[in-house]
Amino acid sequence: MTLQYPLAPNARAALDSEVTARTIAEARELNNGPVELIADFVRPTPAEREEIQAKADRGIARGFVQLYEDAKGNPVIAVSYWKPSTGKPRPKPVPPPRPPAAPREDHTDDLYFNKPGAKEAAAARKRKKLPDPNQMDLFGSESPKPAKGLPDADE
């Protein structure tokens, strides 16, 4: 069995209502007008507690009632029901306008354009690699120099 909610003007009347609807379309048809699904709380007084408790037990079996207790131990009955609405749609809350965001600082110039002379200063700091003396220069125009202390082959 699917969950059915009663059609009633308030939560106390929903506990007594026998008119139920599964969907909003069915509830609109039964009401002949717009409805909305409401969850409301009933806090029975000690005098009416037994009477409301019996009605709540029937609602629990049908699935639209839940029982709770407040901090003092008194019963609180949560009732979900279809409530006939006035027909006027609720206005959607308008969010407050956001203040314009502060423009972020542009660092593009720092990334792409250095200070004048920075390139030369960076080149001056860069250490020049010396060639390995054991590496043979195959494509150079100069002939390799003999190591110190060894006789030259041309001599």
Mean pLDDT of the chain: 81
Structural domain that includes position 75: 5-84
Task: Dump pLDDT digits (tens) for 90-111.
Answer: 677 888 888 888 888 776 666 6
Res 144 pLDDT > 60: no
Q: Determine if the pTM surpasses 0.85.
A: no
More confident call, 21 vs 89? 21
Q: Is residue 136 part of a domain?
A: no
Tokens at 78, concatenated = 């949560």
* 98 within a domain of the structure (yes/no): no
Count of domains for the chain: 1
Phi, then psi, of 53 in degrees rounded to 5: -65, -40
Mean pLDDT in residue range 112-140 = 73
Angle value at C-alpha 13, between 8 and 16, nearest 5 degrees? 105
- 32 inside domain: yes
Beta strands 5-6; 20-21: pairing state: antiparallel
**Measured distance CA(46)–CA(50) in Å, rounded:** 8
* Residue-level pLDDT at 133: 80
The answer to whether position 109 is within a domain reads: no
Among 69-78, 115-124, 129-138, the range of highest mean pLDDT? 69-78
Q: What is the pLDDT of residues 37-60, one digit of tens each?
A: 999 999 998 898 889 888 888 888
Mean pLDDT of the 112-121 span: 67
Tell me which residue has tokens 């969950």.
3
The three-class DSSP label of residue 117 is coil
Q: Is 48 domain-assigned?
A: yes
Q: Is there a domain that residue 57 lies in?
A: yes
